[in-house]
């Protein structure tokens, strides 16, 4: 090949840029050069995220506000903090989308103790009201306890349940790679209703956790309109062990329970939305988001302060690297994922009725571990296209692109061509989940920041290659 003149070289460079930045319907054809160039971008995202730890320090600011349950003053503080921060980061548009949310408060009394026992009278149990639980009538509630391991057993023993407190003594199955949450969460959500049908007066739920400690988790409890509402609490894992043993020795012991939790009118709240407007296809939107609300235990660092800040940092990484996206990249911090999904519903309705098209909607709500995979809800050709980018995504720690569930919030954007869930390593996830353990101190800066880089890389690929 002849030596290129300077002009020819310039033309070829411009052509190369056009090639790397032209939208395509089929990406199987990435050249070695393109792959190398894209890998370089991925590595720049990784370097910026890891060196600066900017998202990590933003997460500190957010979690310093405290827990952010929907309807709480803290949640409003966090929303305004995020709005202000997005403006400071220089996003092109920043706005709040109003939405009414449920408003429940835990109150300041949540006590349980073993009574009517010869050996261990007045022994306290560490409990936390499940989210949305009613208070105990007449200040307290007392009754015998029946231990139940499954809904099947509940049905079989329905005659024995009346007037008693049901203790769902069902540990999360630790023997599964994926964690055993799938086999227990429905006892938290539907356990009170199921027990109330047979006349139970209250529910004690063995805390759902992979950590053998005494910090009970919380999470939503569901009441059907036609069933009497009964108070429901989770019991620390260690105290659940204690109660199990106590019931073996004295089946007739009673537990006394006090809760003063309270429901309020729906409260005004907001989704926080910020975007960098696309330079070439402003009406094609790539959404990336987490949920700004958290449970009221811990500070929601892992669930889902992480996803919020990583989503904000995706946009900020584009800015820090001076990359102008061709499509609009929009960060959405959804309110009320934990107990109502009102934010997701509102944003989904907005997006589905907009003149703009959501070509991809990515959600980060699986914790702060090292990147492992993306789960994609889309047609098989689109999934194959994203899979073909694995050599590039692998620079950020992503080793798999799988077909599968994306997430509760982006799931409401029905019109999105692809809904994507970011999948970090989750072995520690249920050590913290919805409990006092979910603190900023459990976030590892490198693992957390790699999440921002992995998401930024996939957003960049979608921006440049289309879907």
**Which residues of the shown chain bind a second copy in the complex (CB under 8 A)?**
43, 46-48, 50-51, 174-177, 210, 369-370, 372-373, 395-397, 399-400, 425, 427-428, 444, 446-447, 450
- How near is the Cβ of 306 to a second copy at its closest, in Å? 15
Cβ atoms within 10 Å, residue 187: 24
Rounded to a whole number of angstroms, the minimum distance from the CB of residue 175 to a second copy is 4
| Residue 133 or 214 having the CB closest to a second copy | 214
Least distance to a second copy, CB of residue 240, Å: 17
Minimum gap (Å) between residue 140 Cβ and a second copy? 38
Closer to a second copy by Cβ: residue 378 or 396: 396
| Residues 350 and 97: beta-carbon distance below 8 Å | yes
Would you tell me how many other CB atoms lie within 10 Å of the CB of residue 238?
16
Cβ 206 to a second copy, closest distance in Å? 17
**CB-nearer residue toward a second copy: 37 or 431:** 431
User: Cβ 82 to a second copy, closest distance in Å?
Assistant: 27
Which value, to the nearest 10 degrees, does the dihedral of the CA atoms of residues 198, 204, 206, 209 take? 110
Contacts of 214 (CB under 8 A, 6+ apart): 126, 236, 237, 238, 239
Q: CA 159 → CA 197, 205, 248, distances in Å?
A: 11, 20, 20
CB of 99 to a second copy, least distance (A): 36
Which CB sits closer to a second copy, 62 or 450? 450
Q: Report angle CA 373, 367, 314 to the nearest 5 degrees.
A: 70
Q: Which CB, 17 or 176, lies closer to a second copy?
A: 176
Q: Which CB sits closer to a second copy, 45 or 347?
A: 45
Rounded CA separation 465/32 (Å): 15
Whole-Å CA distances, 92 to 286, 292, 355: 15, 21, 19
Exposed e or buried b per residue across 69-107, where buried means at least 16 C-beta atoms within 10 angstroms of its C-beta: bbbbebbbebbebbbebbeebebeebebbebbbbbbebe
**Which residues are CB-contacts of 269 (< 8 A; sequence separation ≥ 6)?**
70, 71, 75, 76, 79, 98, 99, 100, 101, 335, 336, 342, 343
* 343 vs 371 by CB, closer to a second copy: 371
Tokens of 250: 């004295």
**Minimal distance, residue 210 CB to a second copy, in Å:** 6
In the complex with a second copy, the residue whose CB is nearer, 60 or 111, is 60
Query: 34 and 20 in contact (C-beta within 8 Å)?
Result: yes
In the complex with a second copy, the residue whose CB is nearer, 369 or 421, is: 369
Closest CB 423 distance from a second copy, rounded Å: 11
Token couple for 442: 């459990």
Three-state SS for 169? coil
How many beta carbons lie within 10 A of that of residue 33, not counting itself?
11
Query: 166 — phi, psi (to 5°)?
Result: -85, 125
- Work out how close the CB of 366 gets to a second copy at its nearest, in angstroms, rounded to a whole number: 14
b/e map of 125-163 (b: 16 or more CB within 10 Å)? bbbbbbbbbbbbeeeebbbbbbbbeebeebeeeeeebee
Nearer to a second copy, 121 or 174 (CB): 174
């Amino acid at each position: 090949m002849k030596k290129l003149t300077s002009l020819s070289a310039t033309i070829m460079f411009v052509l190369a840029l056009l090639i790397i930045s032209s939208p395509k319907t089929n990406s199987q054809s990435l050249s070695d050069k393109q792959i190398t160039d894209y890998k370089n971008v991925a590595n720049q995202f990784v370097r910026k995220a890891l060196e600066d730890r900017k998202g990590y320090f933003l997460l500190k600011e957010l979690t310093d506000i405290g827990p952010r349950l929907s309807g709480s003053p803290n949640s409003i503080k966090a929303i305004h903090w995020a709005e202000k921060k997005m403006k400071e980061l220089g996003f092109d548009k920043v706005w709040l989308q109003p939405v009414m949310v449920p408003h429940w408060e835990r109150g300041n009394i949540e006590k349980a103790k073993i009574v009517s026992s010869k050996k261990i009278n007045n022994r306290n149990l560490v409990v936390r009201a499940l989210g949305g639980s009613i208070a105990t009538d007449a200040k307290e509630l007392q009754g015998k306890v029946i231990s139940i391991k499954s809904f099947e057993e509940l049905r079989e023993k329905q005659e024995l349940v009346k007037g008693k407190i049901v203790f769902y003594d069902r540990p999360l199955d630790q023997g599964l790679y994926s964690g055993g949450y799938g086999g227990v969460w429905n006892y938290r959500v539907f356990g009170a209703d199921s027990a109330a049908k047979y006349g139970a007066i209250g529910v004690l739920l063995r805390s759902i956790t992979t950590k053998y400690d005494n910090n009970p988790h919380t999470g939503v409890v569901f009441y059907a309109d036609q069933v009497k509402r009964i108070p429901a609490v989770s019991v620390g894992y260690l105290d659940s062990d204690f109660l199990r043993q106590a019931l073996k020795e004295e089946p007739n012991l009673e537990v006394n329970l006090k809760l003063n939790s309270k429901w309020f009118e729906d409260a005004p709240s907001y989704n926080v939305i910020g975007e960098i407007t696309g330079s070439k296809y402003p009406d094609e939107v790539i959404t990336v988001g987490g949920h700004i609300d958290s449970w009221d235990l811990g500070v929601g660092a892992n669930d889902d302060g992480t996803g919020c800040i990583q989503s904000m940092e995706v946009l900020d990484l584009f800015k820090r690297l001076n990359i102008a996206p061709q499509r609009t990249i929009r960060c959405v911090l959804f309110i009320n994922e934990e107990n109502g999904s009102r934010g997701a519903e509102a944003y989904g309705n907005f997006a589905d009725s907009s003149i703009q098209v959501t070509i991809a909607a990515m959600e980060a709500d699986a914790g702060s571990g090292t990147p492992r995979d993306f789960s994609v809800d889309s047609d098989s050709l689109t999934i194959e296209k994203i899979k073909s980018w694995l050599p590039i995504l692998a620079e950020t720690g992503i080793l798999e692109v799988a077909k599968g569930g994306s997430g509760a919030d982006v799931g409401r954007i029905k019109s999105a061509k692809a809904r994507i869930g970011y999948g970090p390593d989750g072995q520690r996830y249920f050590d913290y989940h919805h409990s006092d353990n979910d603190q900023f101190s459990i976030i590892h800066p490198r693992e957390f920041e790699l999440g921002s880089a992995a998401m930024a890389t996939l957003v960049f690929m979608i921006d440049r290659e289309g879907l």
